[in-house]
Structure 1
Amino acid sequence: MTDRATTTRVIYLGGLGRSGTTLLERLLGELPGVVALGEVVHLWERGVLAEELCGCGAPFPVCPFWRQVGERAFGGWTPALVGRILTLRRRVDRTRRIPRIEHPDLAEYVQAYRLLYEAVGAPVVIDSSKHASLACCLVAGGVDVRIVHVVRDPRAVAHSWARTVQRPEDGRPMTQWGPARTAVHWTAQNTALELLPGRGARVVRVRYEDLLAAPGPTLGSLALGLGLAEPDLPFLDDRTVWLGPSHTASGNPMRFLVGRVELRRDDSWMTGMRDGDRRVVNALTWPLRARYGYREAP
C-alpha cells in the first residue's frame, strides 16, 4: 500500500456476472498506479462478516492490506459498521431507483465507499462491483469515477451461469441460474448501465469477445480512454499474461490466480447449449443483443 493520494480516481466495472469483469479487473490491476479491489459491494458482508478469503489467499480479517484499509478509513472493521452500510444499501442502492437516485441517506452511503477508496492510498482503484445502481450512487455522490460497461454474448453468459463452479474458499457450488433468469438479468443490468450517461456518468463499453480476440490492443486502447496515460504492458505477451498477487474482495475464482495465465476465449456455449435454451435467451435479450453486435446464430 502506498501513501495516501490527494485524489483517488475510481474505475468501476459494470455488467452482469460471468461477463469477463474479473479478467478485465486483473489485467487493469497490473498497470502502474492501479489497485484492484474486487467487488467492494460484497466486501461488507462476505469479507468482514463471513471472513471469506482475500484474493491473496488470506482470510479477509487477517489480510494486512485490508486491515490497514479498514483502520485508515473507519478505525477498523466492525459489525456495527457493516450493519449500517447494509441498511443504507437496502434504502438507496437499488436498480429501480436509478431514474431518481436522490435519497436522504445517499451522501452517508457514498461517503463509506469514498473513505474506503481513499484509504487504499493509490492514484487509481478498480471496483468490480458490477451493479449499475452502485455506479449511479457514486456518480450522484460526486465520486471521481469512470465506468467500464463490460458486455458478453448473453448465450455465453447464460451457459456459464448454468454450469457448476466450485468456490475456492470452501468447495461449495457457486450460484446457478437457468437461461430465462439469466437472460432477464442480462437485459435488466445492461439496460440500467445504458441509463447512466443520462445521469452524468462517463461510460465506455468493452466486449469480452474483443478483449480475448486482441488483448493487447483492446487493453491499451481502454487504458488510454480511461486516462491512464500511455500504457506499458510488459505483463502481457500476445495470449499470455503474468499476474501478480491481488487483494480483491469476493468475485470469480480467477481472482486467486498468480503467475502465467493463458488467455483463452470460452465459447463452450456454441456446442454445449441446448437449442431450446438458446431460443429462450435469444428472445429475451433482443434488441440489446443486436445493439452489441451479437447475431441470432453464432
Structure 2
Amino acid sequence: MAVRLIFIGGLGRSGTALLERLLGEVPGVAALGEVVHLWERGVAARELCGCGERFTSCPFWRRVGVRAFGGWSTGLADRVLTLRRRLDRTRHIPALAARGARAGLSGYTRAYTRVYEAAAEVAGAPVVVDSSRHASLAFCLRTSPVVDLSVVHVVRDPRAVAHSWRRRTDRMPDPGRASRRPWRTTAHWMVQNLAFELLARRGGTVIRVRYEDLVADPVAVLSALLVRLGLCREHEAEALAFLRPGAADLSVAHTCAGDPIRFRAGPLALGRDEAGCERLSRPHRWLVTALAWPLMVQYGYRIRDRRPPDGLPAGWLPAGVTPQECR
C-alpha cells in the first residue's frame, strides 16, 4: 500500500521549516523533519529530536526504528549515507529526470519508504511530511512505487534569502557554519528552484507556495494548499484551528533534524518580513537581482530597487528587465 508523502522542497532559509510545523498541526498529518539528515544527525550523531529527547531515546523514533528495521544501527546509517553520496546529488538530477531509476536507487529509496510507513503507523496519521528540501531527493523518491508523492515547492525573495544566509545560526552541532556569500546563495537558489520546475515539467505533483504570502495570510494560503493536496475541503475551518490572528499554536513535534524552529512549542508569531530584502547591502541586492531576475519575474517578486543611489535614476533596473510588483 502506498504511503502518502508531502515533500517540502526549496532552498534553506526560505520558510520550509515553518511550513512543515504548520502542516504538522493539521489533523492526520505527521511532520518528521528533514529525513535526509536522519541517518547522520539522528542515528549516528544522536542529536535531539524536536521533542527535546535524544533521537535514540525518543519513544516515537525508537518505535519507528523497530517497526522499520528492527531497530536503528550505525551500520544501517552508514549504508544509506554511502548510497546518498553516490546517488542523491544535485548533479544527477538531469539523469534522474531523463532515465529515472539508477543502479542502487531502489535500495536507497526503500530505506526512506520504510521510515515513512513506520512513522505513519506509529503516529496514527495517513500523511507524513518530509522537509528535506533537496530537489535531488524528490527526484529519487518519485521513482518509488510505494510513495504517493506531492511536492510543496517553497520560494522566497532571493535577496531576503541571501541576507539570511549571511547571518550565522545556532543550529547544532556546528554553529555558524552555514554562512554563505550572496552570489553563492543566489546560484543555489536558482539551481534548486529550476530543479523543482523541471520536476513539474516531468509530470510530478508540484505546488508552489511563496513564503511572503504564507506569513502574510497563513489561513488563506494553508486552506488553499490543503484543498489542493486533498487533505480537506473548502471552508473546513477545523483543520486550521491552531491558527489565530498573527500567531500559530504549535504542539511538540517529533522532527528528526532541521532548523531550531522544530523545538518551538506554544504560540509562534507570524507576520510580514518586508524589511528582509532591505537588510542586504545595496551592491549585494543588485548582484542578486541581476543573477536571479528571470525567476523573480516568474514568481512575482519586485525587481525595482526602492532606494536608488545618487547619480542613478529612480527605478534603475538591470538591462532588459521589466519591473514586477509583488502581490
How high is the TM-score relative to the length of structure 1? 0.94
What displacement does 1:176 show?
0.8
Matches of 1:236 and 1:153, distance apart in 2:
24
Report the secondary structure of 1:194's partner residue: helix
The answer for the alignment partner of 1:88 in structure 2 is 83
The answer for the alignment partner of 2:246 in structure 1 is 239
What displacement does 1:174 show?
4.8
Of the three residues 209, 214, 220, the one matched with 2:223 is 220
Q: Verify: 1:22 aligned to 2:12, yes or no.
A: no
Matches of 2:37 and 2:2, distance apart in 1:
24
Of the three residues 173, 176, 179, the one matched with 2:179 is 176
Deviations 1:96-147 (A, max 9, x none): 2223222111111111111100001120000000001100111122321100
The answer for the alignment partner of 1:261 in structure 2 is 268
The answer for the alignment partner of 1:3 in structure 2 is none
Deviations 1:218-275 (A, max 9, x none): 1011011001023421100121110000011211111111001110233333332111
Q: Does the aligned pair in 1 maintain the 2:38–2:256 contact within 8 Å?
A: yes
Deviations 1:185-204 (A, max 9, x none): 00000011111023331111
Report the secondary structure of 1:165's partner residue: coil
The answer for the alignment partner of 2:309 in structure 1 is none
Residue 36 of structure 2 aligns with an amino acid whose one-letter code is V
Answer 1 or 2: higher relative contact order, Cα 8 Å, separation at least 6.
1
The answer for the alignment partner of 1:201 in structure 2 is 204
Aligned residues: 292
How high is the TM-score relative to the length of structure 2? 0.86
The answer for the alignment partner of 1:141 in structure 2 is 144
Report the secondary structure of 1:272's partner residue: coil
Q: What stretches of structure 1 move > 6 A for 4+ residues in a row? A: none
What displacement does 1:173 show?
2.5
Q: Does the aligned pair in 1 maintain the 2:168–2:175 contact within 8 Å?
A: no
Residue 159 of structure 1 aligns with an amino acid whose one-letter code is H
The answer for the alignment partner of 1:114 in structure 2 is 113
Q: Does the aligned pair in 2 maintain the 1:55–1:249 contact within 8 Å?
A: yes
RMSD: 1.4
Q: Does the aligned pair in 2 maintain the 1:54–1:247 contact within 8 Å?
A: yes
Of the three residues 164, 167, 183, the one matched with 1:160 is 164
Q: Verify: 1:288 aligned to 2:295, yes or no.
A: yes
What displacement does 1:7 show?
4.1
Residue 199 of structure 2 aligns with an amino acid whose one-letter code is L
For the pair shown, which has the larger CA radius of gyration, 1 or 2?
2
What displacement does 1:50 show?
1.2
Matches of 1:112 and 1:199, distance apart in 2:
24
Q: Does the aligned pair in 1 maintain the 2:249–2:268 contact within 8 Å?
A: yes
Q: Does the aligned pair in 2 maintain the 1:166–1:174 contact within 8 Å?
A: no
Q: Does the aligned pair in 1 maintain the 2:253–2:263 contact within 8 Å?
A: yes
Structure 1 window deviating more from structure 2 (226-235 vs 128-137): it is: 226-235
Residue 108 of structure 1 aligns with an amino acid whose one-letter code is G
Instruction: Give the percent of matched residue pairs that are identical in Structure 1 and Structure 2.
Output: 55
What displacement does 1:170 show?
5.6
The answer for the alignment partner of 1:54 in structure 2 is 49
- Cα 1:92–1:11 change in 2 (3 A) is same
Residue 125 of structure 1 aligns with an amino acid whose one-letter code is V
Matches of 2:223 and 2:52, distance apart in 1:
29
